[in-house]
Chains A and B, each alone.
Chain A
Amino acid sequence: MRRLIPSGIALALVAVVAPAAAADPDPTTVTRLIDGAVTKRLGAEKLTASPAASDAEFLRRVSLDIAGTIPSPDRVAAFLASPDPDKRRKLIDELLDSPGYARRMTDIWSGLLIPNTAAAARQKHDPMATWLQTRFAANVRLDALARGVLTAGGLQDENGAVTFYLTHESVDEITDRVSRVFLGVQIQCAQCHKHPFGDWTQAEYWGMAAFFTKVKSVYVREGAVQKYGAREEVTATKAKALLMVPPSAKAAAPTFLRGAKAAVPADGPYLPALADWVASPDNPYFARAGVNRVWYQFFGRGLVTPVDDMTDDNAPSHPELLAALAKEFAGSGFDLKHLVRGICNSATYQRTSKPAAGNAADMTLYSHAAVRVMTPFQLNDSLESVFALADNEKTPPPTDATRKTKAGERGRFVAFFRGEDDPDPTEFQAGIPQALYLMNSGHHYRIAKAANEVVARLKTSEAVVERLFLATLSRPPTAAEMGAMTSHVARATDKRTAYHDILWALVNSTEFISNH
């Protein structure tokens, strides 16, 4: 159980972020901060760091982490063959500029902003995804993104960000989410009683909730088309309140968490003031929460874990590093790509995930990289990347209509593979139904087609096996694996189905579903 420690540490947080330094576009600043702090700590704990990841391991990991999918077999072959000593740095830049980056960030942030509830499932989610994707592609800064979400108003078609309000049911639900996602703290327990750990009081909770009490629903009917949206209304209108407001929230005045009452007149808007406070470089929570989230995306755990429970008594594993990165992040104007670039170029991130010299038990000090399970999005997109082996010049490019079907399939796949909320990424969460799906579902035919296409192009069984390994595990087979696979083909009466078997085994393997 966590211990209670005296407050006052909260005050220390304020100083950490306050002065926004001039933006430093040099990623080596972030890299130096990370490697310095992590190496120092490993030394103090007398833990050996594992060596650097091989090119194959690094390529697969960084592709999954930045762009959300494994690399194509051609990409693997080219990267492994390249003698360029600077190829890792260039790869990181290339991935950050790829559409995959925006899609991956959109997947993550859609999941953070839209609740996994029956009520949310009744709303369209695509407008939020489109809105986010546009912003991540343009590297809109995190403060601007938060402002855009919090002050969103209008119809869903015009402003996808209002999906945030449309998918929530009550002011307390949205208060919980804003606190967790943008501030990195959980204050929901204060709803019914004084929080036992974080020291939030009920008054503070309802003071935050009060900001959302003027959000009204917007509804337009054009012929047979119904359009929905949300907007903060300051004057009395006939519009219905969008979010349910418990009596306790009605009674409270808008008050910033751990802070003063907001200087907002009762007849004015509340949300711009909230957004200004949340996304300010002076906010003690915002930069830390942002850094911790991005860190989690690349390391499988936060510098504070759980990632959204950054209370005084839940200490970071590397306090100085978190403080320094938060300062750097705020100083860069909340530039996400700057942070990501710095992380991915660090020796800490680029270590192998294979344990060495007695460091296997270490899960928190980054002596070796964590082996994580692919998210459902990564798994779907990586399977698609494997199935793309079947694409050839004869296959016409997808039309808009087929692309739409594909988006629907992606959503269904993700819903089926989605486990509990906030899973531990180092644990295999899927159960028997998901294993049965990967073994026996209709994607069997796509496996067969992909394998057939490779067989049709390559002459020897060794060449086919190697390509199947590059396309799935992003590495060539070991000698033992090559032996086992080619002798399976040699034994088989039907050579074609023997290759189906191999590709089936590859996509069902632990190595395939893991990001290592």
Chain B
Amino acid sequence: MPSFRTPVSRRAALRLALAGGSLTGWLPVLAARPAAATARARACIVLWMDGGPPHTDTFDMKPDVAECGVYKDIPTAVPGIRVSELLPKFAGQMTHAAVVRGMSTVENEHLRARVHLRTGYRSGQGGLTYPSLGSIASESIGEPDFPVPSYVAVADVRDRSHGPGFLGPRHQPLFVQDPKRGVENLRAMVPPPAVDGRLGLLDELERGFAGEYQVPLSHTHRSVYERAVRLMRTEKARAFDLTLEPLKTRAAYGESSFGQGCLLARRLVETGVKYVEVGLGGWDTHFENNEAVKRLCGTLDQSMTTLVTDLKLRGMLDSTLVIWMGEFGRTPTFKGKGRDHYARAWSTVFMGGGVRGGRVIGRTDASGATVADRPVSAADFFATVCELLGIDYETDRDTPGGRPLPRVEKSGKPVRELWT
């Protein structure tokens, strides 16, 4: 069993998995990691609108149908494309953005929909727990020996849909609770040689328990500790310290947790992290939809546009894919003062990362209720992101049950109009 004191090579990780009794059969396949030759983007930032944002108040306005909403549409920097008046700064950046208006998915309940839109599969399908997109990115394009986890989530709500599923604990997200505080307790309370001594004693204890009880949690616990120790020892962890940014920059992103999370995402991508999710919660507007959406769009518009501008100024926008999405949309008409969940027709937005901006792909009908042109399923969405990130999503790979499966459900076809 490898020691905590040395970085764990992939071969060692495999040995560890076997010794620790982890039964997943995927590790040998990992060695045949496909090269990201076709990648258009090197990293991905997902802005996750938890609860489900309404398309007819944001990126798919229906100004001619009074029942669809009270907010007006405004012109953008691209002639012919209009968005909500609640997103004026975004309107100015339309040249960088492509709006997909034909999202059409199948889960209407939050947790099931989160699983569906974070993993590309339906919850419980085939009896497997599927990896999230962040975990797939960590597996496929993360550098195995990189000391910072390849997948970081500043999540408003964290649940199992974020998890690595059958890819195992190595590809768990690092959750950051409060971006202003970053990762706490990074410094050991004793000098480095003493830390080594302590970890040696821990090794001794772990070996005994893992051998006797043969449970996967031994392996998971060890994997988490190893990654924590590596994070303690790397200079790259400075990326989590937002106080190293000028005050002006911090203010430009907005004081909210979401705004500071967007800034953190930029710093992490700069340092080599591959996948960052930043959550903005509160979109479950069954009641008082209009007030909530106005408030949330204010936060969103400032922080998201600052992020895109910042990435552009640093020359990172072309290699960083930014996605705006929720787990579903909301009903185009009202129930009382609220909107209910709605998966049949909704919008996502793609920016940077090789996407050709200034366009709208797909169309809903006159009242925003169904997709009239270019429907995009969850699997299609996944194939699209994988294609942009250079992740092989079509080849069958072993799963723990021994049944080979591709990373994205076979029906998934990428939305190539985003870059062609």
B-binding residues in A (CB < 8 A): 1-2, 118, 170, 172, 188-189, 192-193, 244, 246-248, 353-355, 360, 371, 373, 416, 419-421, 423, 426-428, 430-433, 435-437, 439-441, 444, 478, 480-481, 484-485, 488, 492, 497, 500-502, 504-506, 508-511, 513-514, 516
Contacts and interface: CB of A to CB of B under 8 A. Distances in A.
Contact of A246 (B187, B281, B336): B336
Contacts of B206: 509-510
B172 A353 contact: no
A74 B221 CA distance: 29
Contact of A355 (B174, B177, B214): B214
A504 B199 CA distance: 9
Contacts of B335: 246-248
Contacts of B149: 432
Contacts of B198: 501, 504-505, 508
Contacts of B221: 428, 510, 513
A193 to B, nearest CB: 6
B232 A436 contact: yes
A437 B108 contact: no
Nearest to A478: B208
Contact of B217 (A426, A480, A500): A426
Interface string B174-211: 11110000011111111000100111111011101110
Nearest to A192: B108
A511 B184 CA distance: 25
A172 B338 CA distance: 14
Interface stretch (B70-78, B130-138, B222-230): B222-230
B213 interface: yes
A431 B174 contact: yes
Contacts of A480: 204, 208
B212 interface: yes
A428 B169 CA distance: 9
Name the 8 nearest CB pairs between A and B, nearest first. A505-B201, A444-B189, A435-B228, A428-B220, A436-B185, A440-B185, A420-B159, A509-B205
B267 interface: no
Interface in B103-122: 108-109, 112, 122
A247 B186 contact: no
Contacts of A439: 185, 188, 225, 228-229, 232
A439 B224 CA distance: 12
A421 B159 CA distance: 7
B208 A481 contact: yes
B80 interface: no
Given A431-B172, A436-B232, A501 B213 contact: no
Contacts of A371: 213, 215, 217
Contacts of B341: 192
B222 A510 contact: yes
A172 B228 CA distance: 41
A1 B220 contact: no
B14 interface: no
Nearest to B149: A432
B194 A497 contact: yes
Contacts of A248: 335
A509 B231 contact: no
Contacts of B112: 189
A480 B204 CA distance: 9
A510 B281 CA distance: 34
A433 B205 contact: no
B294 interface: no
Interface residues of B, number: 65
A513 B215 CA distance: 13
Contacts, number: 159
A1 B125 contact: yes
A170 B215 contact: no
A186 B217 CA distance: 29
Contact of A484 (B204, B224, B232): B204
Given A432-B183, A509-B206, A501 B159 contact: no
Nearest to B199: A505
A192 B190 contact: no
A440 B109 contact: no
B287 A440 contact: no
Nearest to A188: B109
6 contacts: A189-B112, A427-B220, A428-B217, A478-B208, A510-B205, A511-B205
Contacts of B227: 432
B24 interface: no
A508 B225 contact: yes
B109 A189 contact: yes
B205 A431 contact: no
A485 B197 CA distance: 11
B397 interface: no
B224 A431 contact: yes
B336 A247 contact: yes
Given A1-B124, A501-B201, A505-B201, A436 B228 contact: yes
Contact of B287 (A189, A244, A427, A485): A244
Contacts of A244: 286-287
Contacts of B212: 354
B158 A420 contact: yes
A444 B232 CA distance: 16
Most B CB atoms within 10 A — which of A188, A355, A481, A510? A510
B224 A428 contact: yes
Given A440-B232, A444-B189, A506-B205, A170 B287 contact: yes
Contacts of A433: 174-177, 183-185
Interface in B1-39: 21
B184 A419 contact: no
B209 A511 contact: yes
Nearest to B228: A435
A500 B198 CA distance: 9
B160 interface: yes
B337 to A, nearest CB: 10
A432 B224 CA distance: 6
Nearest to B174: A432
